[in-house]
Amino acid sequence: MATTNLKIDALDFDDIKNNLKLYLRSQNQFKDYDFEGSGLNILLDVLAYNTHYQSYYANMVANETFLDSALLDPSAISIAKHLNYVPKSYRSAVAYVDVELFLDETDPDDVPIIESIINKNKFILAGEQFSGEIGSETYLFSATKNFPISYENGSYVARAVEIKEGVDKSTTYVYDPNSNIDQKFLIPDLNVDTSSIIVRVSQSVTNNTGIETIWTQVSDINNLDTESKVYFLQQNADKLYEIYFGDGVIGQKPNAGNVISIFYKICNGSAGNGIGLNDTDTRRSFRYLERNASQTTLLKSAVDGKYSSSFGGSESETIQSVKYYAPRNYQAQERAVTAEDYRVVLAQQYGDQAEAIFVWGGEDNDPPVYGKVYVSVKPKNATKLTDLQKLAIAKNILKQKSIVSVIPEIVDPDYLYIVLDLNIKYNSAKTTLAKETLEQNIKNLIYAYGVENIGKFDQEFNESLFVSHVNDNYNPPVISCNIDLQLTKKFEPNLTTITNYTINFDNELYHPIDGFTPILSSSSFGYQDATSTDTPKPNVDVSMDDDGRGNIRIYKLVNGSKIYINETAGTIDYTTGKIKLPNFVPQYLNPETNTTISLTVIPKSNDISARRNQILLLNSEDITVTATPQTLRYDPYSASATAFRGTN
């Protein structure tokens, strides 16, 4: 009789079979278990295979039962479904355009159109098509609703027309609970934009009664009753979306024979973004495809005066994102109380149009404001949200999810620009590149580092990691890398009204002793010269610096020398990095800086942190690289290298 204990630590086929052989060695009844051609050996193969199969199955069942360990997409989708989470679909890019119609008052065909416009009875109709070109690709857009056409200064124009990328499609089903009591209605396109879905229910194929009524997607199950015309949305194992209806208690139940009509848009996701980015007053990327279209113009940004390109297109949600957001969405329970709740709700409903989202409670604000929650969003392809986007978020998302006692407030991202001046020493014997080419290559490397490692909320600049990145990725030519780092902030002043400004760098500034040389500089701007004896006082080009004792001064340059015209224009706190400019009113701005004044300071440390809604940015024009060639000569009597400037 066998006395050896059977090992159970193996999972692979060969290891399982070897353990079975080890077990059989302890018995005397069967002797041919270790011969490849024996019948008993075949039985061992079967036993090992069966054990391996069962262990694999048990492992898969254990993994796929839990969201965080699920390996298969259908498993993650199925578990997320139990958490009432619907993975985000593709999203259409959106653009806002002005449409000018070319109409001839002498053309009989145009006369009735002109009369309709004058009578305010003419529209760009919902669904009318536009084309948008980017590179060699052309994408179709359509108006989201009716937009009125008006007569303005001799032109016939529709303003701020919202158009979305994609092609409209539809599918119909007949409701038949007798054949399938749990009937679901499939949308047969993977790249559907679920935010565009419109569901209508008519009495039958011959009776359109009810087709005018739109059934809406469920947003809060607590508000449903037997008459609520709603539908539920879910994703199946094939990543296709399907809708289903209530049971007559929670949501209205269609009747047998009702026709279910589903209208939706299929789109190209992020491929539709950026159309119009390089538009000018003479070059247009969008075309209105209906008759009498003279030109279609993108709206200009109120921030920088440039044309605002299409934005907001995105692909469907990844499984990794589903794993992260599904349990957090379930925790939020369709309402926003904590800062994390707000972030999850915004990420789910607006994440396709946002590059980064940050939320903090009023108790963490500076100064604290209790009873508020602050929301900051960095949109894709833009620096801040438009007023229209802020209104949409406040009305369609935050207002519906926030509780009465908490007041949400949307604030713009606070950009802190890093200015780098690098002095690089490189081994000229290890590269054939020209000095200028090497400098440009290193500059490109640094810019790529900024794109990868900063540019979103809660990201910091670490000097040691940055230097290691430069040295490691441009080795062997780079011998050493020394950094001079400055920080810049930009603010938009009011040119007509005296205003108080607070500019917060949120990093300690360099200040070794009182009376130290200025560590603050600014771009130039126009300012009234109170020291002048002329009447009225003239406006002159000025800049700002500090006196090393916490005071901000305004000066003009006369023959290259600073002449101070206001030595108490504001204060600078070197410890907190906070600058205050009370009663400040510039008269005009430097044309090169457009609508802003730039303030540049020297921080105490090259490790830069970002707090709350601050975002660190590293632009290509803020990077300067100076490369100095050296030749390394190795001492034959030691392993050390000695650096010599220039060449031998």
The DSSP symbol for 610 reads -
**Model confidence at 647, in pLDDT bands (50, 70, 90)?**
very low
Let me know if residue 554 belongs to a domain.
yes
Percent pLDDT > 90 in the chain is 35
| 247 Cβ contact partners less than 8 Å away, ≥ 6 residues apart | 253
* Separation of CA 102 from chain center: 38
pLDDT score for 233: 93
pLDDT band at residue 332 under the 50/70/90 scheme: low
Q: Do 131 and 214 belong together in one domain?
A: no
Question: What pLDDT is attached to residue 164?
Answer: 94
Contact 240, 286 (CB under 8 A): no
**HEC secondary structure over 541-595:** EEEEEECCCCEEEEEEEECCEEEEEEEEEEEEECCCCEEEEEEECCCEECCCCCC
Task: Specify the higher pLDDT residue, 60 or 204.
Answer: 204
Q: How far apart are CA 92 and CA 357, in angstroms?
A: 20
Asked which of 242, 266, 290 is the last residue of a domain, the reply is: 266
Per-residue pLDDT tens digits for 374-402: 899 988 767 888 777 787 788 777 777 77
Q: Quote the tokens at residue 44.
A: 């061992």
Task: Return d(Cα 421, Cα 483) in angstroms, integer.
Answer: 6
Among 410, 409, 408, 413, which residue's Cα sits nearest to residue 382? 413
- Has residue 338 got a pLDDT over 70? yes
Least confident of 29-38, 266-275, 312-321, 512-521: 29-38
**Is 190 within 8 Å of 240 (Cβ atoms)?**
yes
In a domain, 184, yes or no: yes
Answer yes or no: is 18 within a domain. Answer: yes
Mean pLDDT of the residues in the chain: 83
Range with lowest mean pLDDT among 13-22, 356-365, 524-533: 13-22
**Total structural domains in the chain?**
5
Whether residue 596 has pLDDT greater than 50: yes
Give the best-scoring range by mean pLDDT among 11-20, 287-296, 426-435, 616-625.
Answer: 616-625
299: its two tokens: 């709206």
Q: Which residue reads 């490691």 in tokens? A: 472
pLDDT band at 417 (very low <50, low <70, confident <90, very high): very high
Tokens of residue 318, six digits: 């990844």
Kind plus residue range of the DSSP H or E element containing 540:
strand 539-546
Least confident of 99-108, 468-477, 604-613: 468-477
User: Which residue, chain included where needed, has tokens 């498993």?
Assistant: 75
> How many angstroms separate the CA atoms of 479 and 469, rounded?
13
Dmax of the chain from CA atoms? 121
pLDDT more than 70, % of the chain: 86
Q: Are residues 257 and 291 in the same domain?
A: no
Of 50-59, 199-208, 249-258, the one with minimum mean pLDDT is 50-59
Q: Is residue 517 part of a domain?
A: yes
Asked which of 266, 287, 310 is the last residue of a domain, the reply is: 266
Distances (CA, A) of 137 to 93, 133, 218, 272, 423: 14, 6, 37, 9, 43
Q: Which of 376, 448, 340, 374 is nearest to 614 (CA)?
A: 376
pLDDT at 146 (0 to 100): 93
Residues 154 and 283 in one domain: yes
248 & 373 share domain = no
Q: How many whole angstroms separate alpha carbon 529 and alpha carbon 541?
A: 9
pLDDT at residue 36 greater than cutoff 80: no
Q: Is the pLDDT of residue 646 over 50?
A: no
β-pairing, 614-617 vs 414-427, is: parallel
Residue range(s) defining the domain that contains residue 366: 334-412
In a domain, 313, yes or no: no
State the pLDDT at residue 258.
Answer: 94
Distance CA 438, CA 478 (A): 10
Other Cβ atoms closer than 10 A to 119: 8
Helix (H), strand (E) at residue 157:
strand 155-165
Q: Which residue has the higher pLDDT, 47 or 303?
A: 47
Last residue of a domain, one of 396, 412, 428: 412
Q: Are residues 156 and 276 in the same domain?
A: yes
**Which of 330, 414, 325, 411 is closest to 372 using CA atoms?**
411
Round to whole Å and give the CA distance between 331 and 310.
34
Q: Which two tokens stand for residue 230?
A: 């709603």
* Strand boundaries in 149-221, DSSP class E: 150-152, 155-165, 167-174, 185-186, 192-202, 214-217
638 C-beta neighbours (distance < 10 Å), count = 8
d(CA 103, CA 54): 76
SS3 279: coil
Co-location of 284 and 199 in the same domain: no
């059989």: which residue's tokens? 24
Domain co-membership, 250 together with 129: no
Tell whether 439 is covered by a domain: no
Are the C-beta atoms of residues 461 and 607 closer than 8 Å to each other? Answer: yes
Q: If you average pLDDT over residues 47-75, what whole number do you get?
A: 68
> Do residues 542 and 554 share a domain?
yes
Determine the Cα–Cα distance for residues 571 and 90; give it in Å rounded to an integer: 50
Contact 246, 215 (CB under 8 A): no
- Count the Cβ atoms, other than its own, within 10 Å of residue 251: 21
Q: Is residue 140 part of a domain?
A: yes
3-class SS of residue 442: helix
Predicted pLDDT at 113: 84
Q: Are residues 143 and 290 in the same domain?
A: yes
pLDDT in tens, 62-75: 555 666 667 677 77
Tokens of 247: 């049971």
Check pLDDT > 50 for residue 303. no
Question: Do 140 and 190 fall within a single domain?
Answer: no
Q: What residues pair up with 644 in beta bridges, in sequence order?
A: 631
State how far the Cα of 117 lies from the Cα of 530, in Å rounded to an integer: 55
Same domain, 173 and 162: no
Position 294 in a domain:
yes
Residues 226 and 212 in one domain: yes
In tens, the pLDDT along 605-620 reads 999 999 889 999 998 8
